[in-house]
Amino acid sequence: MIFEGRPCLFCMNDASSRLALDRRGRPFLHCCACGARAFLPSFTPCLNGVAVLTPYVRAIAHEMARDSQAYGRHEKTIVTFVNDLRTRINTDARARVAPPAEVAPADLGVTRTA
């Protein structure tokens, strides 16, 4: 374990994330609270965001714990993000559904035997 007790960039829990190395020596993040795992191919530039964003995640989590208006504001941002993501996923899934085939089985060389 390289770092323990870091804030999770996914669920924003203040001290549940850890940074460790996999069997090949590559870094990965794991949160004990939400179960998120992020496997990274290398230390840099992959961990640059972790280094820069960690203090902001801590500050936002503390702000949400102290101030109900801040909590509501951040919760609205989170809910909007998740809803937009679900809408995009559902739209993409509907676009990938293939229309029914217009080719008759006989055209494919399939013959029916009774």
Domain presence at residue 101: no
Domain presence at residue 55: yes
| pLDDT confidence of residue 105 | 59
Domain presence at residue 113: no
Q: How many domains are contained in the chain?
A: 1
Task: Check whether 31 has a pLDDT greater than 60.
Answer: yes
Domain presence at residue 98: no
Helical pair 48-66 and 68-96, crossing angle rounded to 10 deg: 130
pTM score? 0.71
Domain presence at residue 112: no
- The pLDDT tens digits of the residues spanning 53-83 come to 999 999 999 999 999 999 999 999 999 999 9
Domain presence at residue 84: yes
Domain presence at residue 35: yes
Across the chain, mean pLDDT equals: 87
Domain presence at residue 88: yes
Task: Check whether 91 has a pLDDT greater than 90.
Answer: no
The residue segments making up the domain with residue 73 are 3-92
Q: Where are the alpha helices (DSSP H) in the chain?
A: 48-66, 68-96
User: Which residue's entry shows tokens 């994330």?
Assistant: 17
